[in-house]
Structure 1
């Protein structure tokens, strides 16, 4: 049976083990060879002796990042850095790596970002990069666990659609037999249809596509969106679900991974709720008091977000955005110039957008006209409002952007396995 390197420390001295992984580095003496071997849980030294190894000469010339299987005896009295090693009995070479490597795995010399992404299969072998995705996986598991405890149904909606979710131009057009179609910007319209269907509470984890021409450290053209929608709630309850889902998942991750995260320089602190809230209008006033010149209806620039981040330092909500800045399905507030909407910021980056939605059919029709949209393009969606649509609210959360900010990464592509942006379509 295969033993993972991280589990070896639980075994008794002298135990026979079989480990499988990559050759990280080698040190050679004529009749003796030391191999530092790595799997996705850690690394360990393997000692190979010529007089006890049939294929020693072949092994002696093994290249870095080749794949091997080692059967041997555990020595817990070793003078190696880890205090233990494996005395090799049989070592099978499973795959020989070409040389030179296009990207070093343990080398201290850093590579430029394009080189890293072009050789992602090697880049992800670095333990500190693998850890990002172990963290991301556990974070998503925690969010799913929270949503299940709150009786949400996980759903999967179409990603090839006939109409733009938000009525904008940031769409990828695709050929769909004899028709034109689009890659979906979000599952928003389908979430609302499911609320009309009596599902009550739904969430989805899936890809979303935005044909934005932005080429910044926080923008992707394909990303993982975590979406929620629930019946008979307002924007305030939606914010409560959001902050509790994030705090539950992040705090769970810290309990599970704190030591490993700290080892590789990822420093996280547990999150407390509720998150602070500031209205859009109060935000405008605060920013103007701090030297900016903003008018009602202006979006917050990166500079503005940095000023707000200094005030709140962590997660905080910006609420009550102007109706002209929100999609057609956003419910107006008592003041019709404002909406029952919110963004969740983590420091100076938006990670979530949400709102209470319009549920009144006539109000929805009026909003199509105000936004200059052809309601016939949304017939499949609008129909659900004619036959009993409950009040509802929800949000969409970008997974990669959330992880980027939690781990203080420099670029959202670092928390994306194979990024898709304006210039990158491969690998």
Structure 2
């Protein structure tokens, strides 16, 4: 069976008089006397279908149309229908066009009432929306966010391909944690305990010894006791690794990725941005950089006490970003913090000298975070490429090098200097799509409370 000739967005006033077949969902329906109005929705948009009794037809046809109008008026919202109608130019209708309905077939009638209002007229709490996600995803706003996620992933891929990166797909069931034993999600694997990958970190590093420039866009898992708008147990990680590069090189790639995403969304995703009523920030390159020491000194001047060498939490980053934005030291809210203390970074991070911060000597590293306001979007570094240094770092963190032998042994056979970063795609969508919660940028989010749908 042929369900449709056109998408509703392809129907224009210039097609007046053409008989077409469309299919989709009943967004809304109402009847007024001898008229029935049905708003039909497919992924491209909506169109009004008006059912009325024609004047110049036989009595038998008039009776058929009256039965048709009665049938239409009783169809529950979100039912799936196929409609045959004639295109009519009407300046009062959305886009100046409607269909004069001639036939309708209900392909699947929806139960009533709906678990939430797809039209958006009645607000629903985010927990209600996520519990009924397949229905929530029919809302234009929800679809717009996922369209922008898709467009962003496309922009990332196209830019990295243009730099001769190879897209790779690494194992997601692994023998040991990327960064030790914390936040691991165990799985039963052929009688042994394995884990879901926290990131492709160790594998993408090994791949620099062959493919040199690699990237991956794939799920990753973190068993974090964090129930915030910015944390997911399963998220999409964008990972890049480059041979013969340091952290300055990969920061340039990262800032260009962010700009490409925002420019692509503004140019190709205008329709979806209008649905969301959002305009992404303007990003000019280079994105400003401050060192950890400079950030620490700004916080101290703001009256925020942080032990030198310790990580910054969300309250500290809020204060820092507010100060930087006041001083015009961000680009659309984006900024880098570089040269982090080595002890708060993963074991594979290359050390980068010492610095006296707040009267305390701190070992630094060639590392960075890219933040948007208070939110960490990406983290990266120059990596250690010598086995003996990696083993020393593992021991300093109380980790047994023997547990990482599957990874370490390949450093005996010519591992190049390399650097890279990982970025949370859903987090990037906070400024790009203007969403208040990263769960809205996931099809079916997984967090502390959600395993279904």
**TM-score scaled by structure 1?**
0.96
Q: Does the CA-based 8 Å contact 2:30-2:73 persist in structure 1?
A: no
Aligned mates of 1:260, 1:131 — CA distance in 2? 5
2:59 matched residue in structure 1: none
Task: Show CA shifts across 1:28-66 (max 9, x none).
Answer: 134321111111111111012353546444333111111
Task: Show CA shifts across 1:157-212 (max 9, x none).
Answer: 0000001101132101111112110011000000011112x111000011100001
1:141 matched residue in structure 2: 154
Task: Show CA shifts across 1:200-253 (max 9, x none).
Answer: 100001110000111111111100001000100000001001011111121011
1:15 matched residue in structure 2: 18
1:368 aligns with 2:368: no
Q: How does 1:121-270 map to 2 (within 5 A)?
A: 121-196=134-209, 198-270=210-282
Aligned mates of 1:343, 1:314 — CA distance in 2? 14
1:284 aligns with 2:284: no
Aligned mates of 1:424, 1:269 — CA distance in 2? 31
SS at match of 2:265: helix
Q: Does the CA-based 8 Å contact 2:276-2:433 persist in structure 1?
A: no
1:102 aligns with 2:102: no
Aligned mates of 1:202, 1:96 — CA distance in 2? 48
Q: Does the CA-based 8 Å contact 1:404-1:414 persist in structure 2?
A: no
Task: Show CA shifts across 1:308-328 (max 9, x none).
Answer: 222135111100111110111
Q: 1:117 aligns with which of 113, 116, 130?
A: 130
Task: Show CA shifts across 1:88-124 (max 9, x none).
Answer: 1221111101011110111422111211111111111
Aligned mates of 1:405, 1:374 — CA distance in 2? 40
Aligned mates of 1:128, 1:43 — CA distance in 2? 14
Q: Does the CA-based 8 Å contact 2:26-2:78 persist in structure 1?
A: yes
1:319 matched residue in structure 2: 338
Task: Show CA shifts across 1:385-410 (max 9, x none).
Answer: 00100000000010011102322321
Give how far 1:26 is off. 1.3
Aligned mates of 1:10, 1:297 — CA distance in 2? 66
Aligned mates of 1:78, 1:262 — CA distance in 2? 22
2:75 matched residue in structure 1: 62
**TM-score scaled by structure 2?**
0.91
Gaps of 5+ in 2: 54-61, 325-329, 355-361
- Structure 1 residues 371, 64: CA separation in 2 closer, same or farther (over 3 Å shift)? same
- Structure 1 residues 381, 13: CA separation in 2 closer, same or farther (over 3 Å shift)? same
- Structure 1 residues 200, 114: CA separation in 2 closer, same or farther (over 3 Å shift)? same
2:451 matched residue in structure 1: 425
Gaps of 5+ in 1: none
1:47 matched residue in structure 2: 50
- Structure 1 residues 270, 17: CA separation in 2 closer, same or farther (over 3 Å shift)? farther
1:379 matched residue in structure 2: 405
The alignment yields a C-alpha RMSD, in angstroms, of 1.6
Q: Does the CA-based 8 Å contact 1:164-1:184 persist in structure 2?
A: yes
- Structure 1 residues 388, 396: CA separation in 2 closer, same or farther (over 3 Å shift)? same
Segment of structure 1 superposing worse, 101-110 or 204-213: 101-110
